A = this chain, B = another copy of it.
């Protein structure tokens, strides 16, 4: 089940990663000390593709610190944190347009506490959703376990022989009905 079309990840960079520290524009918004990152470096650092990074920038989720003379994007170090943040929001089930909303609201909020309150709202809602999803997944896991059990034990011992009345390996006396995951496969 491995994806047959893996995106071309970047090769190991032969160019020196350590850039002259002077370029790190200490005085500016780049709170991160150290060299700036090219888009490929950021991609490698985050496990994303260059295309994904570009997309995030298009959507306003991420902004390069500046550009080189040749218009190469240069990202501050903490862009790595930002990209990971985006990934986590995706894991939480937010779409990129939804993340756009979060960013917009966060940037437009007047005060820091206002921004914090907004985030709290979003996260509280997502926490609830996540808990619901957890519950659903747990149920699915149980169904899978029951189906596996049925497929290996009950079905083989009970149904293959004709004696439905006694099934030593089944805890329940009644002939165990096939779980939905098993029953559904047999229809048609």
Q: Which residues of A contact B (CB under 8 A)?
A: 1, 29, 62-63, 78-79, 81-82, 84-86, 88-89, 91-92, 98, 102-103, 106, 112-113, 115-116, 119-120, 123-127, 130-131, 133-134, 136-138, 140-141, 143-145, 147-148, 151-152, 155-156, 160, 180-185, 187-188
Contacts and interface: CB of A to CB of B under 8 A. Distances in A.
Contacts of A92: 140, 144
A139 B78 CA distance: 22
Given A113-B156, A151-B119, A85 B127 contact: no
Given A134-B134, A148-B127, A151-B119, A184 B140 contact: no
Number of this chain's copies in the complex? 2
B148 A124 contact: yes
Nearest to A159: B112
Contact of A85 (B88, B91, B187): B187
B140 A137 contact: no
A145 B92 CA distance: 13
A182 to B, nearest CB: 7
Contact of A145 (B1, B116, B119, B127): B127
B62 A184 contact: no
A148 B130 contact: no
Nearest to A144: B127
21 contacts: A78-B187, A81-B180, A81-B187, A82-B188, A85-B185, A86-B184, A88-B180, A89-B181, A102-B185, A103-B185, A112-B160, A113-B156, A115-B185, A123-B151, A124-B148, A127-B145, A130-B137, A130-B140, A131-B141, A134-B138, A137-B137
